[in-house]
Amino acid sequence: MPLHIDPLHIDVVTLFPQMFAAISECGISGRAFARGQAELQLWNPRDFTTDNHRTADDRPYGGGPGMVMLAEPLAAALGAARARQQGVGVIAPHRVYLSPQGRTLDHALVMELAARPGLILLAGRYEGVDQRLLDEQIDEYISIGDYVLSGGELAAMVVIDAVVRQLPGVLGDADSAQQDSFVNGLLDYPHYTRPEVYRGVSVPAVLMGGNHALIQRWRLQQSLLLTRRYRPDLLARRSMSAAEISLLAECRQDDQPD
């Protein structure tokens, strides 16, 4: 599925909308939002409550520690988010719940999300969310790793940052996203800049020679070496070319990337 050229519409349902200033006002994603390459709308379920205390959670049935987010305020917030997206032409935005139970976020999933015209992200808190709400309103669970956070906001920001930087025109260099780690199933190669000698260590000579074919060969070899050392599971899943096998065969198992 090709990436769209219209703005990616992102709505987030969260009890802590102020946290998202880190993603909406800073760095690459902040510039993308400022330029209209993506749009972000935040919804606080407390704004959809009907009691004086703006209650968004309650004790779990069956007992146990902690609180559970109420279905009704979340349903209203999700409904408002969906109505907003439908108003700008996104008929069926993809609704995601950030949860360690979900599919682990990786490059393939990032590209799937970046190809969609609209995303609605639900950031849970406390012990979780009423399951009936999730069963009715959510299309997919996504996890950023096998650990527990205090809430889904940080996970939602990770998703947003990873997805927005893949949108056409967001990165200053169109090749940057294609050279990131994991795009080709390997870790990124080492990078160097000025000075040429730093604390007695020189930039690898191949990078100074101007032979682009040799530079590309060196970079691929370094990516293979780093992946073998730090993420051998990636190599195990990769169908390696004859050239890649040859590049690795030139190096001992304990070789350090140069």
Average pLDDT of the chain, as a whole number? 93
Question: For the chain, what percent of residues have pLDDT higher than 70?
Answer: 91
CATH architecture group of domain 181-249: Orthogonal Bundle (1.10)
* Spatial distance between the Cα atoms of 144 and 228, rounded to a whole number of angstroms: 23
Distances (CA, A) of 257 to 24, 224, 254: 36, 9, 10
Is domain 8-164 given the CATH code 3.40.1280.10 in the classification?
A: yes
Tell me the pLDDT band of 180, cut-offs 50, 70 and 90.
low
pLDDT for the residue 2:
46
Q: Report the predicted TM-score, pTM, of the whole model to 2 decimal places.
A: 0.89
Contacts 24+ apart (CB under 8 A), 59-66: 60/127, 64/127, 65/127, 66/126, 66/127
Residue ranges covered by each domain of the chain: 8-164, 181-249
Catalytic positions: 100, 127, 165, 180
- State whether residue 143 is helix, strand or coil: strand
Residues 13-36 have pLDDT tens digits of 999 999 999 999 999 999 999 999
My answer on whether omega of the bond before 65 falls inside 30° of 0, hence cis, is no
Distance CA 28, CA 9 (A): 16
